Amino acid sequence: MRRNSLFQIDPDEIDARLRSVNAPLLDQADALLDQARQTWKTGDADRMRRDVERLGRLSEDIRHIRLSDTAPLRAAALAGKRVFGEFEASLSRARSALRLRISALESPVTVLASPAPAKADGSGSAEDVPPDAEIAIEDFDREDLPLEALRPYLTDHALKIALTKHLCAHGPSLGPAVRYRELAKV
């Protein structure tokens, strides 16, 4: 794994540069803060109202300058998030899927009573399976899986994930069982 950053950014240098370029504005802020402290001591409500207005305007000016001056840094961070985020998400999903698969393979389920009409090997009747048998899911065929029988065991979260993937692949096409809404564009 690479240990050095691709971009050599010195936060102290950025701090010094921002302070240098914006020195008049920052000096104005310091002066206004000192004035507000003095106004506080006087108890003059009219002066305090004027200071409140000035503090608000200057705060907005500083906010706009901050957003403008740091826009390239935020854009770089967003680019990094776009590039690496999709891979991080895919890797995380793959890890989760493999963990679930490992758990299914290694964690037998104790069957207390089996109303299903099949043996553990998939044939015959469940009557021949002892009621305390430990049975693990070895594999399954998703095409032949009786999804309707699994419906009570599917969480809303699992269904929402499946619905989201269906929406991405096919658009809003599942009919009245699913309510869709259009998101505001940012």
Give the domain ranges of the chain.
11-69
Mean pLDDT, rounded, for 127-154? 76
Model pLDDT, residue 135? 67
Q: Which of 115, 110, 135, 137 is nearest to 125 (CA)?
A: 115
Alpha-carbon distance 5 to 24, whole Å? 33
45-54 in b/e burial notation, b at 16+ Cβ within 10 A?
Answer: eeeeeebeee
Please say whether the beta carbons of 132 and 111 come within 8 A: yes
Q: Between residues 82 and 113, which one has the greater pLDDT?
A: 82
pLDDT confidence bin for 110, thresholds 50/70/90: low
Mean pLDDT, rounded, for 73-89? 91
Mean pLDDT, rounded, for 120-141? 63
pLDDT confidence bin for 186, thresholds 50/70/90: low
Q: Pick the range with the lowest mean pLDDT from 49-58, 132-141, 150-159.
A: 132-141
Q: Pick the range with the lowest mean pLDDT from 44-48, 50-54, 109-113.
A: 109-113
Q: Between residues 186 and 161, which one has the greater pLDDT?
A: 161
Q: Which of 72, 133, 141, 142 is nearest to 108 (CA)?
A: 133
Q: Between residues 32 and 165, which one has the greater pLDDT?
A: 32
Please say whether the beta carbons of 31 and 71 come within 8 A: no
Residue 97, pLDDT above cutoff 80 = yes
Among 61-70, 99-108, 148-157, the range with the most confident prediction by mean pLDDT is: 61-70
pLDDT confidence bin for 49, thresholds 50/70/90: very high
Q: Pick the range with the lowest mean pLDDT from 2-16, 96-110, 167-181.
A: 96-110
Model pLDDT, residue 114? 47
